[in-house]
Amino acid sequence: MLRRHEKNDLPYYIGLVFLIFPIGGAFTGFYPIWTLNLTAGFLLSYLLLVRLEPRHQTLIAFLWFYTLAYVSFMTLVYQGTMMWFLFYHVNLLVWRFGDHYRSYRFTSFLIVALLLSAAGLIYGAGLATVLMSAAAPVFVLGMYYFQNRLHLQKKMEDEIVEQNHTINLLSAENERNRIGRDLHDTLGHTFAMMTLKTELALKQMKKGQYDAVRQQLEELNQISQTSMHEVREIVNNLKYQTVAEELSEIERLFGLSEIGLAVDNELDLNSLAPVTQSIITMILRELANNVIKHSQASQCQILIRRKKGIEIIFRDNGVGFIKLTGQELHSIRERLSLVEGSVEVTSSANPTIVTITLKEGGKQ
């Protein structure tokens, strides 16, 4: 019936300190002592609204209207400042229920806030009461608006983090599958051959065919050396990926992130030296990760061309850079410090354009 307590529930409970006013007022004679029962009902209803599971919609609705009725009764009958207790409902609307403007909870909250404000403006005694009645609904509605924006932003950030986590898992899984296929194709065939060769050599040894055994051992030695070379190639491929392979992986990741991607490559990628390919690959990966994780873009374009060296241009329609300090993309700057290259944010937003230029080396 009750959901488990979470660390994020603490702010709900901190606000309960303000119940000292109706409780203390009852003991000091400001309110009738029997209003303690109403306040206890409000406290219990609020705590249940915080902890009840969503499936108990009927009970939640009853408790919600009770808390509104409590605030309304205490405000109209005893003390106009009790109207400020509507902030409890703001916390529930935003952080507990995530209600939109058309929900019954927000509608009833808005009606109560406006009615209490109107009653205070019409029947309030004194300028202070009138000003409070005008300020209170502005405060609680403003509180709802800004907290709701904060909640939506946090929700979006959580979704982006979850999406990035999923993309990283898929990338890792894809890489594990590739390594597994390479090892299976290479070592599986090798071990099968070595098993056949050793079985044949043992049979030939029993028959005294030592020249044939020598031949089998020489072939085993050659198979072993070839396999060692192939394993080294697999290990090297884990550290090095061509630009074409990286672009293909970026297209896959952008597809998972639902970001439209256009790649315009004017280079003969096969003619690039391995060192140059390695640098470009790392730069492309870094820029692509930035777009996926931080830009909130829906479209991206990658242009690779020769223009006083190799030029890489990333263009997207995301949020861009809030302020340019000269320290943006520091990891890329560190990579380019090893070669003759530069990075420049040629447009900070609408669109965001990052231009990388590096001197092309010869074949290596």
Average pLDDT over residues 191-208: 84
d(CA 16, CA 191): 71
115 Cβ contact list (under 8 Å, min separation 6): 72
pLDDT recorded at residue 256: 75
pLDDT recorded at residue 362: 40
More confidently predicted of 46 and 218: 46
Phi, psi of 324 (to 5 degrees): -90, 125
d(CA 133, CA 116): 7
* DSSP letter for each residue of 8-29: GGHHHHHGGGGGHHHHHHHHHT
pLDDT band, very low/low/confident/very high, at 168 (cuts 50, 70, 90) = low
Are the CB atoms for 74 and 22 separated by under 8 Å? yes
Q: Which of 12-16, 37-41, 272-276, 348-352 has the highest mean pLDDT?
A: 37-41
Q: Are strands 310-316 and 299-306 parallel, antiparallel or unpaired?
A: antiparallel
d(CA 309, CA 305): 8
Q: Is 307 helix (H, G, I), strand (E, B) or coil?
A: coil
Q: Which of 7-11, 26-30, 118-122, 308-312 is least confident?
A: 7-11
d(CA 343, CA 233): 32
Q: Which residues partner with 263 through β-bridges? A: 302
pLDDT recorded at residue 363: 39
Q: What is the tens place of the pLDDT at every residue in 251-262?
A: 988 887 788 999
Is the bond preceding residue 351 a cis peptide, omega within 30 degrees?
yes
Q: What is the tens place of the pLDDT at every residue in 96-129?
A: 888 888 899 999 999 999 999 999 888 877 787 7
The token pair that represents 231 in the structure block: 């394993």
Q: What is the tens place of the pLDDT at every residue in 213-230?
A: 888 888 888 888 887 777
The token pair that represents 279 in the structure block: 């640098």
Q: What is the tens place of the pLDDT at every residue in 87-103?
A: 999 989 988 888 888 89
pLDDT recorded at residue 166: 73
Phi, psi of 240 (to 5 degrees): -130, 130
- Of residues 275, 271, 243, the one with CA closest to residue 339: 275
pTM of the predicted structure, to 2 decimals: 0.50
More confidently predicted of 183 and 124: 124
- Nearest-5° Cα angle at 111, 155 to 44: 70
Asked if the 162-239 domain carries CATH number 1.20.5, the reply is: yes
pLDDT recorded at residue 99: 84
% the chain with pLDDT above 70: 89
d(CA 262, CA 320): 19
pLDDT band, very low/low/confident/very high, at 239 (cuts 50, 70, 90) = low
The CATH label, of 3.40.50.2000, 3.30.565.10, 3.30.300.30, 1.20.1090.10, for the domain at 243-358 is: 3.30.565.10
d(CA 215, CA 198): 11
The token pair that represents 57 in the structure block: 């919609």
